[in-house]
């Protein structure tokens, strides 16, 4: 995994707490999606996933339910796309670390279970 990945996410995650316009939030979440898709999923490094989740969780404690739900979509895709051993660890991490973000996890699971129409 690129060394800049965690540095970049640590700078972007605090933006979730800000009152930003919806189009800026959409762009921010698209940025996270791209980072996860092209860097975190292929690396399959659970230690990094765990550290990134910890920083997200701290930020999401101070976010509105709408921002948490939108962010859950990004994490749901991550849960769906990572390889099985990492997926199991990630789901275990998410459900064991609910304090303050209980409303987020059901949305993550819903998004993780989505399938694309063929």
Domain annotation covers residue 117: no
CA 7 vs CA 11, 48, 52, 104: distances in Å: 6, 11, 10, 24
Query: Which residue range is the domain that position 36 belongs to?
Result: 4-112
How far, rounded to the nearest angstrom, does the alpha carbon of residue 25 sit from its chain's CA centroid? 14
Q: Band of the pLDDT at 93, cuts 50, 70, 90? A: very high
The structural domain count of the chain equals 1
pTM for the whole structure: 0.89
- What pLDDT was estimated at residue 117? 66
Residue 38 has pLDDT above 80, yes or no: yes
Residue 97, pLDDT score: 78
54 three-class SS:
helix
Give domain status of residue 118, yes or no: no
């Amino acid at each position: 995994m690129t060394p800049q990945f965690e540095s970049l996410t640590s700078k972007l995650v605090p933006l979730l707490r800000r009152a930003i316009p919806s189009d800026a939030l959409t762009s921010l979440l698209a940025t996270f999606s791209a980072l996860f898709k092209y860097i975190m999923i292929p690396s399959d490094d659970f230690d990094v996933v765990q550290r990134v989740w910890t920083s997200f969780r701290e930020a999401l404690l101070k976010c509105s339910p709408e921002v948490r739900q939108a962010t859950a979509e990004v994490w749901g895709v991550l849960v769906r796309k990572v390889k099985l051993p990492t997926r199991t660890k990630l789901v275990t991490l998410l459900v064991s670390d609910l304090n303050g973000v209980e409303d987020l996890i059901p949305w993550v699971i819903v998004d993780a279970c989505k399938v694309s129409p063929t």
